[in-house]
Amino acid sequence: MNPKKQQILSAAYELFINKGYNSSSIQDILDEANVSKGTFYNYFGSKAECLMAIMESIGSEIRQQRMAAAVGMPPNNPDVLAEQLYIRIKLNLEKNLFSLYESIFYSQDPELKSFSIKQYSLEMEWISSRIVDVFGKEAAPYALENAAFVHGYVQQLIHLWRLLSTEEVPAAKLSSFVIRRLQATIALQIAAKDTFIGNMKLPLTTSADSISIEELAPMLELYAAKLKNQKNTQQLVHFLSAELAEESPRKALVESVLTTLANDKQIESELSIMIEQVWKHLGDLT
């Protein structure tokens, strides 16, 4: 990544999480980054675009850490889900992201709005699929609304905690509490067959989930070709692409490479999404 761009991003990041998005002016960013207005608009079409770039990078950080937490663990282990939930809570708290999320959530800017809808849908989708992993197929009709349950409960409890106490939010305790409540309530809900959302699906479900291994290989290859300054990552992605293109990719090798990639903090959003996709297909390999 271009150093000037990086400079702008980290200055903006610092300002956004400290002063909030709306209260940080572009001039503030320029002063903080020691960069002129022309440079800023050379890299970002607008202030909103700059915010989205920051959100993307945080999203990929969360994806990476969540994959790293799941490596080598059975997918139906609720403690892994709690750990993965904890990762988002921890990052949100550390980086003060709540104000950022809300700035864009109810923004009038249509670009920001659709961006936030996409981010939100991805998270709901992710929690849903993990709920099915943990609680089995019979939980599927209730997965989406329980994803909303988890997400909303976490959010509210953090907010409540901050009103009640000056101490730091106990993220680990919070995450395991909510997962315990989820376990309790979802069992009852399945038994009672009580549902609000019913069998409706999020719009992106069908499209995003249907990326096959056959499609992933060339996408990865294309991405690898663009990597210039990260030789190590390039080698790994290139190998992964080639291996997935084979008749029967070797599971152990793919998993090993994925593990390494999942622990790489430099990885950008686009790649981390593809890695996650490969990860989901790991069970199909031998």
Binding residues for a second copy, rule: CB under 8 A, are 19-20, 22-23, 98-99, 102-103, 105-106, 108, 117, 120-121, 124, 144-145, 148-149, 151-157, 159-161, 163-165, 173-174, 177-178, 180-181, 184-185, 188-189, 192, 194-197, 200-203
39 binding partner (options DNA, a second copy, none; Cβ < 5 to 8 Å by kind) = DNA
120 binds, among DNA, a second copy, none (CB under 5 to 8 A by kind): a second copy
**Least distance in Å: CB of 46 to DNA?**
3
Nearest distance, CB of residue 213 and DNA, angstroms: 36
Rounded to a whole number of angstroms, the minimum distance from the CB of residue 113 to a second copy is 11
Contact partner, 102, from a second copy, DNA, none, Cβ < 5-8 Å per class: a second copy
User: Least Å distance between CB 171 and a second copy?
Assistant: 11
For residue 203, the minimal CB distance to a second copy (Å) is: 7
* Site residue total, DNA (CB under 7 A): 20
In the complex, minimum distance from the CB of residue 98 to a second copy, in angstroms, rounded to a whole number: 7
3-state secondary structure the chain: CCHHHHHHHHHHHHHHHHHCCCCCCHHHHHHHHCCCHHHHHHHCCCHHHHHHHHHHHHHHHHHHHHHHHHCCCCCCCHHHHHHHHHHHHHHHHHCCCHHHHHHHHCCCCHHHHHHHHHHHHHHHHHHHHHHHHHHCHHHHHHHHHHHHHHHHHHHHHHHHHHHHCCCCCCHHHHHHHHHHHHHHHHHHHHHHCCCCCCCCCCHHHHHHHCCCHHHHHHHHHHHHHHCCCCHHHHHHHHHHHHHHHCCCCCHHHHHHHHHHHHCCCCCCHHHHHHHHHHHHHHHHCC
Which residue lies nearer to DNA by CB, 25 or 76? 25
Segment 4 to 63, residues that bind DNA, using CB under 7 A: 4, 24-28, 34-39, 41-43, 45-48
Q: Given the structure tokens 């069998």, which residue do they identify?
A: 199
Q: Is 195 in the site for DNA (CB under 7 A)?
A: no
**The binder of DNA chosen from 2, 165, 212, 266 (CB under 7 A):** 2
**Distance separating alpha carbons of residues 138 and 195, to the nearest angstrom:** 13
Q: What residues line the site for DNA (CB under 7 A)?
A: 2, 4, 24-28, 34-39, 41-43, 45-48
